[in-house]
Copies of this chain bind each other. A is one copy, B any other.
C-alpha cells in the first residue's frame, strides 16, 4: 500500500515522527542560506528569477479567470507589479470538489508522499521564496530566508507528520469475532476509510505569508482535503510561488492540480463568500482579531483554526544577568520591527525596581537601560537595517507616529535609510513607560515596534497576576519571565498554565521569546484569546478528517 514518493521521503517522515514524539531539536531543512546546502550562486540566480517576475503575469493555469490583479506592496519600495489571475470563487470551489475524490483514493501514504515531495521542492526553492518574502513583507533577507523558507517548511512537515500519525492509527481493516458461547462466533470484516471533510480555505497574513500558511495548507492536504490558499493581498508572491510548486508536483504525479489553488481577490466580500460557502469545510486564518471574530461568528459548522492578536508580555522580577537580559530583549523588540505575532508588547517591572547582578535598579533605570540597549544594538546601520527590515503597513507607520501620545517616551523611534532601497520605510522601535493603572497605554496590541515598560506596584504576586490577567483578557502567544527566585518562577509557571500561554524563562543568550522552533516549541496553545489552535499538535489535525466504515459478515 505504500507509495513511491513516500518511499523516497521515508527518512524525512520518520525523522519528523520521531521529532514530534520527543520535541527535541531536529530539521531536515538547513536554515543557513549557504551554497553548501542550496547551491553555489543560488541566492543571486533566484533573486534574478524573482525580479524577472516583476510586471509579468504569474499564470497558474487555474479555472474561472475573470481578470488580472497586481496587489503586492513592497515595504522596501520595490515596484513588483506581478499580475495574478482573479478567479471566480465558484470555479475554484467546484474545481476543488472535483479534485477531492482522487486525492482521497490516493490514501494516507500516497498523500503523505506527495506532501513530502512538495515540501522538498519548496525547500529547494528556498532562495526564491526568501526573496519574494523579503520584497513583500519587509523582512530582512536573513529572516526572510529562515522564517519564510526552512522554518516554514519545518512547520509544514510537522503538520504532515501529525496528520500522518493520527491517520495511521485508523486500521484500514479489522477482523471482528465475537464469541457466542456454544454457537459459532459472529465474524465480521470491517473497513475504515479516512475521508477529508471538504475544501479548506487557508487565509494568510501579510507579514509571514509562508510560515503561517504552510501548517494549515499541509494539515488540510495530508488529511485528504483540497486547499484554496487566500494570501494577504499585499503579500501574494510567496504564496503564489508555493502554490505553483504544489501544482507542479501534483501534475507530475497525475493528480488534478486544482487540488491546490490560489485565490487572489479584488474585494473583501469575495473572501467572505469563500469563507461562508457551505462546501468549504475548514478555515485556517492568521491576522487581525476583527476579521477573525467575523469568521468565528459567521463560519459556523466549519472547523476554524484562528491565530489573532494578543498582548505578549515579559515579567521582569529580578535577574542575575542584567546586561544579557537587556541584550536579549533589545533583539526581541527590534527583530522585524516587532511585526511578529510573538513580539513582546508589555514589559512588567515592579514599581520599586529590581535586584540585579549590577545592584538594585529603579523602575526608571530599567526602562532607560532597555531603551539604551536597543539604541546601542541598532547603532550600526548595517545591523539595524538587516534586523529591523521595513515597516509592512501604513497602519503600523501611523501607530509608531501616534505611540508617544499613549504614555511617556523612553526611546523615540527614528527613521533610517536603507543603502539599497531608497524608498524603504525603516523605523527603530519606540519604547514607552506607564503606570500599571494606565491600562490604555499597554493593554492592547500595538502591532509593530511599539512596547511599553509597565510599573507594577504591590510586589511579585501583583506582577504574576497582571501578566495572567493580560493573557486571559487579551490573549498572548508568548510570555517571558526574568527572575532569580525559583518560587516566583513556579508562580509564573502556574499563572501561565492557568492562563494557557507558553513561558520562556530567563532568556539571556541566543534564544528569544518571540521565536518558536518547529518540532519542539508549540506555537500558540489554543487556550487563550490569541489563538484557538496550536502549531502543531494533535488537535490541529484530528478534526480535519473523518473515518467512514463499512462492515459485512465474512
Contact = CB atoms under 8 A, between A and B. Distances in A.
Interface string A244-257: 00000000000000
A503 interface: yes
Interface in A495-530: 496-498, 500-511, 517, 520-522, 525-527
A195 B539 CA distance: 13
A186 B504 CA distance: 14
B186 A24 contact: no
B538 A169 contact: yes
Contacts of A498: 101
Interface stretch (A65-73, A346-354, A543-551): A543-551
A532 B197 CA distance: 11
Contact of A496 (B24, B174, B550): B550
Q: Chain A interface: which size bin?
A: 35 or more
Question: Which of A192, A498, A520, A547 gathers the greatest number of chain B CB atoms within 10 Å?
Answer: A547
Contacts of A397: none
A493 interface: yes
The prevalent SS among residues of A at the interface is mixed
Interface in A1-53: 20-25
A452 to B, nearest CB: 24
B547 A525 contact: yes
Question: Which of A165, A195, A508 gathers the greatest number of chain B CB atoms within 10 Å?
Answer: A195
A542 interface: yes
Contacts of A180: 510
Interface stretch (A131-139, A146-154, A259-267, A296-304): A296-304
B193 A497 contact: yes
Contact of A527 (B21, B197, B542): B197
A291 interface: no
Contacts of A170: 537
A163 B192 CA distance: 20
A171 interface: yes
Contacts of A542: 166, 537-539, 542-543
A89 to B, nearest CB: 22
Contacts of A539: 542-543, 546
Contact of A503 (B507, B525, B550): B550
A154 to B, nearest CB: 12
A176 interface: yes
A547 B552 contact: no
A175 interface: yes
Given A538-B169, A546-B527, A521 B551 contact: yes
A242 interface: no
A504 B197 contact: no
A177 interface: yes
A190 interface: yes
Contacts of A502: 548-551
A537 B547 contact: yes
Given A511-B188, A537-B547, A178 B23 contact: no
A520 B296 contact: no
A550 B301 CA distance: 34
A224 to B, nearest CB: 11
A461 to B, nearest CB: 17
14 contacts: A25-B176, A165-B169, A176-B517, A197-B527, A297-B300, A497-B548, A502-B550, A502-B551, A503-B548, A504-B550, A506-B552, A506-B553, A521-B551, A542-B542
Given A23-B190, A24-B175, A522-B549, 4 more contacts: A23-B192, A195-B497, A527-B546, A539-B546
Interface of A: 20-25, 101, 104, 165-166, 169-171, 174-178, 180, 186, 188, 190, 192-193, 195, 197, 296-297, 300-301, 493, 496-498, 500-511, 517, 520-522, 525-527, 532, 534, 537-539, 542-543, 546-553
